Structure 1
């Protein structure tokens, strides 16, 4: 394959063909989500990229995720969803701050059973 996009598409097609040919293989009705992200950069550039993808998809920006500083759009194909998400600077900073304590806390795993 020539690039990651072609490899992903080929894999999805192969999976669909395999599942179609093998109905005895169980599947789930849980949604399948493909997520893509612009490269980290200035918020206005990342929002512009999401706006461009929304125009290609014919979709709007999802207002539900705006309070979390995730600027995103998406489209559904039955239980399969494609999302394009910009994680804005404040969300990245919040995540980094929350994770800065990760290695400072140790749990006591010596409880009697």
Structure 2
């Protein structure tokens, strides 16, 4: 299940509107090329995480992007021009690979770092 925090939804929407108003009244400012609003599904069994992404996909009228499944990510999204809303589940296989990668952190030190 995706994490819900009371009041967060309304604060986020208000912040997005405020950003849009801010940029609209200052056309001389550089604007980001894209805006990505990503929701990460709470860690759970893979089946439950997939079900949550599928639930979100149904709510936003989208499909699940299977192109990322080889990397252990299950996601859906909807775009509003350069603005994207995305729900992502990081499945157990991807979390395990990431944990294994981090287990080497600090194990290899270059000669230039030895004196630090």
Q: Please, what TM-score do these two structures have when normalized by structure 1?
A: 0.89
> Which ranges in structure 2 are unaligned for 5 or more consecutive residues?
1-5
1:5 matched residue in structure 2: 9
Aligned pairs, number: 108
Structure 2 SS opposite 1:16? helix
2:24 matched residue in structure 1: 20
Match of 1:31 among 34, 57, 60: 34
2:3 matched residue in structure 1: none
Q: Structure 1 stretches (4+) deviating beyond 4 angstroms? A: none
Q: Please, what TM-score do these two structures have when normalized by structure 2?
A: 0.87
Structure 1 SS opposite 2:63? coil
Q: Does 1:48 align with 2:63?
A: no
* 1:15 CA displacement: 0.5
**Cα RMSD between the aligned structures?**
1.4
* 1:32 CA displacement: 1.3
For residues 27-59 of structure 1, give each alpha carbon's deviation from its aligned partner in whole angstroms, at most 9, with x where no partner exists: 13x221111011101110110000000000111
Structure 2 SS opposite 1:83? strand
> Which ranges in structure 1 are unaligned for 5 or more consecutive residues?
none
